Structure 1
């Protein structure tokens, strides 16, 4: 009997070592060697301190910064662990709201957000990505239109010219992958870091 099951045992052990140990170690080593920044999580540093990742959105509320997409992620309620509370861009709990097109809660939230943005920039139509959440709730990017829509508010808050901010958006816009895949996008954290740097250079 042992003679019959020995090949199966050897095959199981061999494949476990190859697929469970050798392959992951090899891929990790190759990633560290050829794509060290991506393998480490595409982290973004400022003054030697990690302040975020290019892959995960952050919530910006101050008028002097560009804002990202709404986020429907949640976290456990500190007062009642069986419930959840809103926690925008919570990387530990990626997910959408799952509210459908007939949801009154969704319709009310959209109307409130659209009205607020229209008051901010009444001369331009509100870009869809500024009021809709992504499936993950962690989208770090917005469309160039979403960034340009916010230029008047940021310019007013910072006392900067709108032309300067539009150029800053253009400088921080990434195009389609190899020219055909995806859509042009602006990483909000990178744009806000460039915005701070531009503001500091004006002061000096």
Structure 2
């Protein structure tokens, strides 16, 4: 290959690079941006920002916390569902907890999904003046799970328990386990040096109702960790507390909840939902 041909090939490659850079690196993004500025699309393209008195306060597509500087819920505001994204609703760390239904035993530095659900339910119940009890939870808001030790049959079931440990209740955090005895054996609290994993893990349902007063979306995080909505049931649970904190009629708050309740997408996708930020802004504007 001579020098002239080599130069022509490199020149052709350079021209192709420049043309494709202009088309795909400049022209296409500019075209998409212009399309996004069409009325009806511009709000979504700009992040669906919500402004109050000319200042952006959030996005209708991303949830946020309504807490004080110490992380305590502000009684005058409706609370969002929990978030596992970073420190909460962090768009740069959107994620779920990746904990599944078999996550029932707490680790030293990481509570199980069951304990997270139990503790959140107890906290919501206390905040909104209802029962936070739910199945498989102790009264203190941790997973009601036992480790049962003893001889087993060929299917792995313990035949005669010899030792029973409440695995989510360390001895330094509880005076007495949530259950006194299991099949005639006294239940002990967990000691840090005890190898309770050798036992059969047994969740205890307890006497909580099958349909707890605290809804599921109040105790579980969304897959993205950014969900801006709560269920109408969770919103209704918070009405009296918000009305009392603001000194207004609960019926007025219920009317605002109804005004900000969205139906199923296209009439059949998903469930009815309430946008928490928009609802709280409406409350502040009263």
> TM-score normalised to the size of structure 1?
0.80
SS at match of 1:33: coil
Aligned position for 1:118: 125
Asked if 2 retains the 8 angstrom alpha-carbon contact of 1:114 and 1:126, the reply is yes
Q: CA deviation at 1:118?
A: 2.8
| Deviation digits for residues 102-146 of structure 1 (CA, Å, limit 9, x no counterpart) | 223121121111122233242772111111101111111111112
- Judging by fraction of residues, say which structure has more helix: 1
Q: In 2, distance between residues paired with 1:57 and 1:111?
A: 22
Q: CA deviation at 1:192?
A: 0.2
Asked if 2 retains the 8 angstrom alpha-carbon contact of 1:121 and 1:149, the reply is no
Q: In 1, distance between residues paired with 2:223 and 2:24?
A: 31
Aligned position for 1:44: 50
Aligned position for 1:156: 244
Aligned position for 2:97: 97
Q: CA deviation at 1:22?
A: 2.0
Aligned position for 1:67: 79
Which of these residues, 35, 54, 59, is aligned with residue 53 of structure 1? 59
Structure ID, larger Rg: 2
SS at match of 1:150: helix
Q: In 1, distance between residues paired with 2:18 and 2:267?
A: 45
Q: In 1, distance between residues paired with 2:268 and 2:12?
A: 49
Structure 2: runs of 5 or more not aligned: 67-72, 132-211
Number of matched pairs:
186
| Deviation digits for residues 64-112 of structure 1 (CA, Å, limit 9, x no counterpart) | 10000101122xxxxxxxxxxxx11122221122122222312112111
Q: In 1, distance between residues paired with 2:260 and 2:221?
A: 22
Change (3 A) 1:7 1:102: same
Q: CA deviation at 1:57?
A: 0.9
Where in structure 2 are the equivalents of 1:1-204 lying within 5 Å?
14-34=19-39, 35-60=41-66, 61-74=73-86, 87-103=87-103, 104=106, 105=111, 106-119=113-126, 120-122=128-130, 125-198=213-286
Q: CA deviation at 1:152?
A: 1.8
> TM-score normalised to the size of structure 2?
0.58
